[in-house]
Structure formats: C-alpha cells, structure tokens
Structure 1
Amino acid sequence: MGRNALLVALGVDSFGTGVFLPVTVLYLTFVIGLDLPTAGLVGAAATAVGLLVPPLAGHLVDRWGPRTVLVTAQLVQAAGAGMYLVATSVPEAFLAAALLATGQRGFYCSVFVLIADLSAETSKDRPFALAGVTMSVCFGLGAGVAGLLTGAAGDWPYRLVAAGNAVSFLVCAAILLRYVRPAPHTPSERGDGAFRQLLGDRPYLGLILVNFAFALAVDLFVLGVPVYLRLVLGAPAWMIGAVIVTSTVFRLCFQVTTVDRLRNVPRTTALTGAGLLWITWALATAAALWVPAPWNLAYLLGITLVHCVANLVHAPTSTALAEASAPPGARGRYVASFQYSFGVSNVVAPAVISLTAVHPVLPWLVLAAVLTAATAALPVLGRTLPTVAVHR
C-alpha cells in the first residue's frame, strides 16, 4: 500500500511540475513583466540557491527520516508556486524561484531514500525504475497540458498552471502523510562525523564525479538537442517534439524490462555500457551536421534510441548504486551529496551548449571527452566501491 501510494504521490507531483516548469521563463516575462535576460538571471540565481540545500537536507533525512523531509520539501515548493501568483517584482520573482529550487533539491535528496525504505527487495533498481517511469510519464503529460493551456490569449493560463502546480505539491504532501507509512526511523547521532567520512570516501566521491558526466549527457539531450536541431541543422520545430516523444515512449515501454534483464550484471559494468552508448550518441550527434537533409529525421530518431537505451540503464542503476554504497547511518547525507552530480550538471550544461557559437560540433565533442574519462573510471570504481553495492 505504502509503495503504491508513494507512486501516486510522485505522479501527482510530476504532473504539476510538468505543467509549470516548462513555462517558468514565459511566466516571468509575460505575467511578471521581466525582460528575457533578467528572467534568465533569476532562474540561474535560484538554481545556485538550490545547490546549498543538499548538506542540510541530507542531515535532516538522517535525523528526521526521509518522509518528513519529503513532505517539508513539498510544502516549500507549494509556497514557491503560490508566490509566483502574487509576485510583481524581481525580488519577489527570485523568492518564488528560490523556494521552488530549494524544495526541488530537498525532494531529490529524500525521495530515493524513502523509496528504498519502502521496498522489500534487496536490490532497489526495480523500485527506482518504477518511480522514474512514473515521474517521467506524468511530467510529460503535464507538459502537454501546459502546451494546450498556454496557447490561449492573456496571462490567465499561466496563472492557472502556477496555481495547479501549487495544488499538486499540497496533494502530494497529503498523500504522503495519510497513506505512506515507512518503518520507524532511527535518528543518526549528533556529530557522528558522516560528512567528514564522506569527504574521505574517495570511491563515493569518484562515483559523484562519474555521474556528473552522465547527468551532463541527459541535460544536453534535453537542452542542447533542440538548439542543435533548430539553429544548426535548420530542422522544423515539430522534429524536436518527435525526438522528445520518442524518448518518453521508449522509457515507458522498456524501463522496467531493461532493469530486470540487468539484475545479474554488476552495476558498474552496466554503467560502463551506458557510458559507451552515450559516447557513441555524442559523436553521432556531432556527425549529424554532415547527414543529407532528407535523411535527418531517420538519423536523429536512430541516434535518439541509442541515447534512450543508455538512459534506461543509467537512471535506476546509478541511483541504486549510490544508495547501496552509503553507510546505513548516513544514507541521507550520502544520497543528498550524490545529487550534486545533477545540480552541477544543470549549471554547466548551458555553458557547454554555448560552445555552439564557437563551432556547432564542439559541445558534443566536449561531452564525448568527458564521458570517455568517466567511463574509463568505472572499472576502478567497480573494484573499490562496496561489493554488495556493485553486485546488487
């Protein structure tokens, strides 16, 4: 009951986020009245604030338990979405964005520990895969609804999606409080030195660095491919939608099956395979510049499938490896620190995409180089991370 209720809660959360997140910049410009550079600066500053959250969130997960932190994160995000409804100036817009960013980081620092606590399986890959599929599909549905609503004239559709997002966070929190009942949490000891232990745990720090490279591959797919398609290849706008829909449908159909087939494969070996696929995808994306126009769609859909397979392997496997590699009394702080691989990637990805101005293929060559270094490090991590974490 608890795990199913958690999936429902995550679906509600992701649908609401999908409704609002894709139009956040548009909301800042059309409703609050900021110019585009200022809106971008507000978003970047809020993201930076979010990067301060993991140490505190991880500590609170170990002290309070993951459900309490997750509910708190939902309430903070609800406050942020609600703040958008009344914001009329740059400081108010920044506060709204910062609350959302803070709550979102708290969400990711706690949700995977809660999923693990509710899962009877020794291996957490499958529960993480189910949660990932639920969030991905519901986010896509929400984004589709946002596209329909914001096509209407006026600013009321934007206010409606912001209000809907706030409600989704509150509903998610209510479901978590009413129906999700993890086992009683044993608080960590005060001053137990877990952060000092983490800073001395070179294999885990190496895992965070490797996952940064893989997270960058995901971010460049989401943010960089649309830029590459439109500004470099001159592809029609509908081709961007075709690529994104292909990715979403592929994950829905094959995520859980992929995890089941890999259950006897060491996690670092599976991630090595994902890294090799992403290197191939990055180089193939760079080579798209020389593909004849009539073949562009088929070629891009083909290499998108390569990216999708890598993501199917990486998404649940990396999180399960990070959770299983953490000491029992410090899982919150370890898993929260692992989130820095995603947070830093969110900051770095736009800078990598900007290299398009130097040469159109440069972002993809840089990504391939970073992925090569990360993939080469995985066999070493396979020998140094805890055996029980590597071999499921």
Structure 2
Amino acid sequence: MAVTDTLGLPNTKGRRPLIIAQVVDALGTGLFLPFAVVYFHAAKGIPLTTVGLMLSTGALLSLPAGPLGGRLIDRFGPRGVLVASNLIRVLTFTAYVFTDTPWQLVLLVTATLWGDSLFRPAVFALVAQVADDGHRARWYAMDRSLRNAGIGAGGLVGSTLVGWGGTSGYTAVVALNAVSFLLAAGLVATWRRTAAPRPAGDGADQAPAQAQAPAPAPAPAGDAAQERRGGYREVLADRAFLGVLVTVGVFALCDLALTLLLSAYVIEARGLPAWQPGMLFAINTVMVVLAQTALAKAVERYRRPAVLQVAAVLWMVSFGLFAAVPGDHTGLAFGGLVLGMVVFTVAELLQAPTSSALIVGMAAEHLRGRYLGSEELMWSLARVLAPTVFTWLLARGAGLPWLALCLCCLAAIVVLRRLHRVLPAHVQRETVDA
C-alpha cells in the first residue's frame, strides 16, 4: 500500500473488473480515434467535406444526450447507463461495417456520440459511488491515466492494422472497437462489489458515507417521490454550480486546443515541420500516463478552486509560449513548443480530476447524475463551437486563438475566486483518509 500511496493510486480492492473494463474501452477507442475522419473517407469513399458535415451534424444532434443521461443516472443508477452506453456503441460500430450511405452514417455517428455522452457522466457517477472517502480525485486521476495509456496503445495497434491491411485494416479496427465495447459492457454488468460492506442495496450503486450537502433519505432507484424532490430546476437554482459550469466550458476549450488547434497552428500558421505536432502529443500522453495520479495526490490537501486557478494561470502561460514561437527558426520554435506543452500538460493534470471531484462534491446524491450530465453538456457545446471559433480566429491572426483562450482563463479565475469564498469547506476539499 505504501507504493500505491506514493504513486497517488487509490485502493482498488474489489473493483479491479471496473478498471479492466475502462482499459478495454480505452484500447478500443484508441484503435479508432486517430482514424475517425479518414475511415469514412478512405474506407467508405465519402468526400472529406461531407465527412466533416456528418461529424458536425452528429455532434449537434447529440447535445441533449448529456442532460438526458444525467436524468437516467439519477433514476436507474450509473451502472445500467454505463452498460447501455457501451452496447449502443457495439451496435453502431458493427453497423459501420455494413453501410456506406452518408445519411445512414450520419444516424450511426449521432448514435455513437449519444453513447459517448452517456458514457462519461455514468463513469464519473459510478466512480463517485465506489471510491473511498477522500480519494475521488485519485480515482478520476487514475481513470484518466489509464485511458490515455489505453488510447495510446490502441492507436499504435490501429496504425499497424491500417498500414498492413489498407481498407481491410480499417474494417478490422472498427470491428475490434465493437468487440472492446462488448467486453467492457460485460465486465461492468457482471461485476459485484466484494470489498468494504455497504448499506443494503446494489453494492455497485451505493455511495460512500461522507460529509456533503444534505441528501434525501434513501429510496429505490426510480422512486417517483425522489423524482419530485429534485430535477434540473433544482440544479439550475444552484448558482455556485452555474459558476462551475462556466469554468467547465473554459477548460473544455483549453483542452480542445490541443487536438483542434495546435497542429493547424504549428504547420499552417507557423510553417513548421509536420513532425512537430506528433512529438508534442507524445509528450502530453507520456506525462499524463506517468504523472497524473502522483500530482492528484500532491494537491489533494489544497482547496479545489485554488488548484483550478493555478491550472488556469498555467494554461495562460502555455498559450503565451505557443503564441511566441518563431516561424523562421525550427529548432528554437520546437524548444518553445515543448516548454509550452509541458506547462499545458501540468495545467491539464491539475484541472481534470479536480473539476470532476468538485462537481461530484457539490451534488446531492439524488442529483449527482444531473450535475454530471450538465458538465457533459458544456463539453458537448465546446466540441461544437471550438472547431469553428478556432479556425476563424486562426485565419485572422496566428496569435488570436491563444489571446482569446487567455481571456477565457482570466474569466475562469474571477469565477473561481468567488467560488473560493462561497463554497462550503467539505466541497472545496475532501477529508482524506489516513
């Protein structure tokens, strides 16, 4: 236990099938993620512009999935929603193999994105229920580290399959992704908690006792009286949580800058070699895998709004470094980009588990799914807006996207400063078990 505590890892006894399910899911996602655009173009013969329209349409149509998923989590429990999200993606990825008609693929992409949007809040809600008191941030950190490792390994396998098999390789990638979702669903569905006893009820769906906002008396999932006691109206009445949602939107844009903006900025706006973005992504992945849990442990004694403020400041520093790289000196530019990426990743490592733990800590148990569903909605909106906003700004000036992100971070810092004053102490910082 001393080694796991030093590494910032939580106690996983009795919960290893859930961890294996996450790794399997991440491996499958990593198989397909790097080829999400090129698959439809190369394997299905659809023009790239049409592919872009398909993906944007699917993203727009999937916006309601997060809020609906939150309601389903509160009504039926996170495990059932998690299994359903995986089974949805089993069906859609299987169907990808058998159709090349754009309108049918739009429906499948939309269903896939619905599955994605149900998956994320369900995972966070289930982790909140099975994590030991005071160690939720560690669980979120471990989940993120494992997912990055799995996605990276899956990406290598997918690249090998595509390079070896061409169109058949693409088909193999999609089929294996469907299998991975099926395995993950089976692991979660058949898991039964055997560790520390919980109150009567489904062991997977019991929340650990902890100090938090008063919650209603326990009731069976789906109880009509519980439904009447809370809903999205109650969530929207939580003004502090609305402030948190502002920061979620800002941090989502910061995070998306890595995948949607950086490559275009480096190659197109600065005219630097095409190998540099790949190296930067590799640095980010290695840092997340190796440092996420240890850093989460290191900051768990501090108040979460303060940690998030530090993350926002570090993101501003990284954006300044990115904006300052010269386009006429490849070596110097790469050095600046590497430094910017290291600072960017530290900000990411601070923000991701801290934000999740803060939102779960704010939510009464009977509204936890809705709080997490609202967080997912903000991420979905950012995914819809970011490509258009980033490219529009980049076309008008290489530094404009980074300046805009800095201003967004300043706004988040102001909001977090207020939250530091108004949030209860038990929400800002969990009591960590000795």
Scaled by the length of structure 2, the TM-score of the pair is 0.87
How far residue 149 of structure 1 moved from its aligned partner, in angstroms, is 1.9
The one of 227, 243, 251 equivalent to 2:280 is 243
1:254 to 281, 291, 313: 291
Aligned match of 1:107 = 119
**Displaced runs of 4+ in structure 1, greater than 3 A?**
180-186, 289-292
Equivalent residue for 2:420, pick from 378, 382, 392: 382
Query: Which residue, 28, 34, 47 being the options, matches 1:22?
Result: 34
Structure 1 window deviating more from structure 2 (188-197 vs 126-135): it is 188-197
1:179 equivalent in alignment to 2:213:
no
Mapped to 2, the partners of 1:80 and 1:266 lie a distance apart of 42
Q: Which residue of 1 aligns with 2:110?
A: 98
The residue number in structure 2 matching 1:5 is 17
1:88 match: 100
Q: Secondary structure at the match of 1:121?
A: coil
Give the match for residue 139 of structure 1.
Answer: 151
Partner of 2:209: none
Does 1:162 find its partner at 2:162? no
What amino acid maps onto 1:252 in structure 2? Answer: V
- CA distance in structure 1 between the aligned counterparts of 2:105 and 2:308, rounded to whole angstroms: 39
**Cross-structure match for 2:241:** 204
1:2-56 Cα distance to aligned partner (Å, 9 max, x none): 4221111011001101111221211111222211111001101111122111222
TM-score using structure 1 length: 0.96
The whole-number CA distance in structure 1 between the counterparts of 2:112 and 2:94 is: 10
- Judged with a 3 Å threshold, the aligned counterparts in structure 2 of structure 1 residues 161 and 257 are, in CA distance, closer, same or farther, namely same
Deviation at residue 192 of structure 1 after TM alignment: 2.6
Query: 2:269 touches 2:398 (CA, 8 Å); kept in 1?
Result: yes
Verify the 8 A CA contact 1:29 1:39 in the aligned structure 2. Answer: yes
Q: Contact 1:31 / 1:155 at 8 angstroms: preserved in 2?
A: yes
Counterparts of 2:14 and 2:325 in 1: how far apart (Å)? 46
The equivalent of 1:277 in structure 2 is 314
Q: Match for 2:130: what amino acid? A: L
Partner of residue 75, structure 2: 63
**Aligned-pair distance for 1:293?**
2.6
Deviations 1:91-150 (A, max 9, x none): 111122111100000001210110111112234111111111011110111112222222
Aligned residue in 2 for 1:129: 141
Q: CA deviation at 1:327?
A: 1.3
The answer to whether 1:361 aligns with 2:399 is yes
1:187-226 paired onto structure 2 within 5 Å: 187=221, 189-226=226-263
3-state SS of 2:59 partner: helix
- SS of equivalent residue, structure 1 residue 234: coil
Q: Structure 1 residue 256: deviation in Å?
A: 1.1
Q: Any conservation in 1 of the 2:267–2:274 contact (CA below 8 Å)?
A: yes
1:235 Cα offset (Å): 2.1
Structure 1, unaligned runs of 5 or more: none
Structure 1 residues 382 and 138 mapped into 2: Cα distance closer, same or farther (>3 Å)?
same
- Conserved 8 A contact 2:27-2:153: yes
Pick from 256, 267, 272 the counterpart of residue 304 of structure 2: 267
Which amino acid is the alignment partner of residue 161 of structure 1? V
1:180–1:295 distance in 2 versus 1, CA, 3 Å:
farther
Whether 2:348 is the aligned partner of 1:336: answer no
User: Per-residue deviation at 1:160?
Assistant: 0.6
Contact 2:79/2:205 (8 A) holds in 1: no
Determine helix, strand or coil for the equivalent of 2:341: helix
Following the alignment from structure 2 to structure 1, what is the Cα–Cα distance between the partners of residues 94 and 299?
42
| Shift, 1:310, TM fit | 0.4
Per-residue CA shift, 1:132-191, capped at 9, x if unaligned? Answer: 101111011111222222224541111110101100000000111122544455425233
Report whether the alignment pairs 1:370 with 2:382.
no
Confirm or deny: 8 A CA contact 2:272 2:327 kept in the other structure: no
- Separation (CA, whole Å) in 2 of partners of 1:206 and 1:99: 30
Confirm or deny: 8 A CA contact 1:80 1:98 kept in the other structure: no
Residue correspondences, number: 392
State the identity %: 31
**Superposition deviation, residue 360 in structure 1:** 1.2
* C-alpha deviation, 1:345, in angstroms: 1.4
Check conservation: 2:270, 2:327, Cα contact below 8 A.
no
How far, CA to CA, are the matches of 2:85 and 2:324 in structure 1?
A: 42
Cα deviations across residues 298-346 of structure 1 (Å, max 9, x unaligned)?
2111111000110110010000001111112110111111112211111
Query: AA paired with 2:399?
Result: V
C-alpha distance in 2 between matches for 1:234 and 1:16 = 34
CA distance in 2, matches of 1:264, 1:35: 52
